[in-house]
Amino acid sequence: MAEYKVERVQPTVYLDGGGKPVRGFLVRVSLARWNEIHELEMPTLDPDKVREEIEALIALREELDKLSK
């Protein structure tokens, strides 16, 4: 089974860290290991950048698991 799956991509406008609007994409990702859905706000659909963000999300989720042990 895949570790994650991109479930949906949708154009959107979101606010960046400085509160400025950014035209980008909402990328919905399911993480099979935790049976969770997460949404990432991405300024681009560049596969390398999306993969990087998903892998960072997985790393953070794994760190959260360590809090339970």
What is the DSSP-derived secondary structure letter of residue 67?
Answer: T
- Percent of the chain having pLDDT more than 90? 91
Paired strand residues for 40:
27
Helix (H, G, I), strand (E, B) or coil at 53: helix
- For 16-36, the pLDDT digits (tens) are 899 999 999 999 999 999 999
What's residue 5's pLDDT? 97
Rounded to whole angstroms, the Cα distance separating 27 from 1 reads 20
Handedness of CA 56, 6, 11, 36 (dihedral sign): negative
Rounded to whole angstroms, the Cα distance separating 40 from 1 reads 22
Structure token digits, residue 15 = 């606010």
The answer to whether residue 37 scores a pLDDT higher than 70 is yes
What's residue 47's pLDDT? 97
